[in-house]
Amino acid sequence: MLEKLAEIKMIDVWIPTVDQRWLILPRYTQPALDTKLLIEKLKLQLPSQPPPRLVAQKQSYEIEVQTVR
């Protein structure tokens, strides 16, 4: 059971903006059909997708993170 649930991954999709910032979309991958059935049978619910964030680069290795609403 835990192996099936471990198949669900969190990924960050980084999209550059025209003003030199990055739009970050953290997303959970969609579970396979058998994993969906297991989740339903256990009466669990997947968390909602996190909100997007904007990242502005300050210096070469510093970033500032803002949540987009």
Which residues form the domain of 38?
2-67
Query: Given a cut of 70, is residue 35 above it in pLDDT?
Result: yes
Whole-number Å distance between alpha carbons of 45 and 36: 10
Please compute the mean of the pLDDT values over residues 42-66 and round it to a whole number: 77
Report the number of distinct structural domains present in the chain.
1
Q: Which residue has the tokens 């290795």?
A: 61
Query: What share of the chain in percent tops pLDDT 90?
Result: 29
Q: What was the pLDDT predicted at 41? A: 93
pLDDT digits (tens, 9 = 90+) for 9-32: 889 999 988 888 889 999 988 899
Starting at the earlier edge strand, list the strands of the sheet with 63-67. 10-16, 21-28, 53-57, 63-67
Question: Does the reported pTM lie above 0.75?
Answer: no
* Between 57 and 47, residue with greater pLDDT: 47
